[in-house]
Amino acid sequence: MTLTVVGSIAFDAVETPAGSRDRLLGGSAVHFAIASSYLADTRVVGPVGDDFGEEEYAVLERRGVLTDDIEHVPGGKTFFWAGRYHRDINQRDTIQTDLNVFEDFQPKLSEASRDAEVLFLANIQPDLQREVREQCRAARFVAMDSMNLWIDIAHPALIRTIGLVDCLILNDGELKQLTDEPNLIRAARKALELGPRVVIAKQGEYGSAMITRDGYFGLSAYPTPDIVEPTGAGDTFAGGVMGHLAAQGGDVDDAALRRAMAYGTALASFNVEGFGSERLYELDRAEIDARVAELERMTRF
């Protein structure tokens, strides 16, 4: 099935204990698509400026990502984010955020994008997510991300959008903040009452958990001693999840969702091993499958 992702396309500048980079290809839609491209044909919807050139398109196209719906805003600059990671790489500070062309982004979906059967609404303003959701009438499975900013300043809009998706994928802290409930299971159940049938909590270095009305699945993270730069790990995880579900084609049942999370976990573990998504530029499918199999052995008792 076809997979469309709507989200940010960015340049990131990062400082980490392992070194620094001043211009990494990033953004939620990019991290997502680089990952999902290993599993399913992926179309990216998002805006870029004049500084987004052939080199960047080439990275995506080498991965088979469909770039027709990347919107070039003449005279604009691409979204820019700069951050500094601590020695404990789970901690970071944002140094700079320039929205640039992302500030006035109004998603324009081509017919091909609107026909997506599997849709991921990466972290953008929730009213925009809702407009995209409503345009994609053929979508059979829709998931979304969000962030603390929208929980704070656009709560009613966010709640409305959550009511229109099948699956909510959030950090566990965001899920607790959204529902004002410090216990993850209770928080997830409150989120299920808003409409989705699946809630996936991303738990960073600990792994992830899926909560449905009648089930629970907990998956440890893949153990990674050498974390270079973790920006985009959550979007990469989502890309693995949605890519697997799109590839599955059929019903999105409990078993498919579990295996999808394993793919998300494996791909995210590659993501953090390099700067940006660079570690994912030249993987082959067998390496990914091998890591999923390894994860299975590492979590079975």
Q: H helices of 72-154, where?
A: 111-114, 126-135, 148-153
Region of 66-74, 192-200, 230-238, 293-301 interacting with a copy of itself (CB under 8 A): 293-301
C-beta of 33 vs 261, nearer to a copy of itself: 261
Could you say which of 54, 55, 74, 88 contacts a copy of itself (CB under 8 A)? 88
Among 58, 149, 153, 255, binds a copy of itself (CB under 8 A): 255
Cβ-based neighbour number of residue 198 at 10 Å:
23
Size of the chain, expressed as the number of residues it contains? 301
Identity of the amino acid at 199:
V
Distance CA 54, CA 58 (A): 6
CB closer to a copy of itself out of 53 and 223: 223
Nearer to a copy of itself, 87 or 285 (CB): 87
Looking at residue 88, the DSSP 8-state letter turns out to be S
Least distance (Å) between residue 81 CB and a copy of itself:
23
266 lines the binding site for a copy of itself (CB under 8 A): no
Tracing tokens 């998504």 back to the chain, one arrives at 277
Q: Is 90 one of the binding residues for a copy of itself (CB under 8 A)?
A: yes
Closest CA to 37 of 292, 249, 280, 260: 280
Q: Decide whether 93 or 104 has the Cβ nearer to a copy of itself.
A: 93
Give me 46's structure tokens.
């998002």
Pick 17 or 64: Cβ nearer a copy of itself: 17
Among 282, 246, 288, which Cα is nearest to 267's?
288
Which H or E run includes 2? none
Q: Which of residues 173-202 bind a copy of itself (CB under 8 A)?
A: 176, 182-186, 189
Verify binding: residue 153, a copy of itself, rule CB under 8 A: no
Which residues 207-226 are close enough to bind a copy of itself by CB under 8 A? 207, 209, 211, 215-221, 223-225
Give the separation between CA 127 and CA 158, rounded to whole angstroms.
Answer: 7
Which residues lie closer than 8 Å to 259 by C-beta, 6 or more apart? Answer: 244, 292
C-beta of 137: minimal distance to a copy of itself in Å?
32
Q: What is the nearest approach in angstroms of a copy of itself to the Cβ of residue 185?
A: 4
Residue from 131, 259, 273, 283 in contact with a copy of itself (CB under 8 A) = 259
Determine what percent of the chain falls in helix, strand and coil, rounding each to the nearest 5. Answer: 40, 25, 35
Chain residues binding a copy of itself by CB under 8 A are: 86-90, 176, 182-186, 189, 203, 205-207, 209, 211, 215-221, 223-225, 227, 255, 258-259, 261-262, 296, 298-301
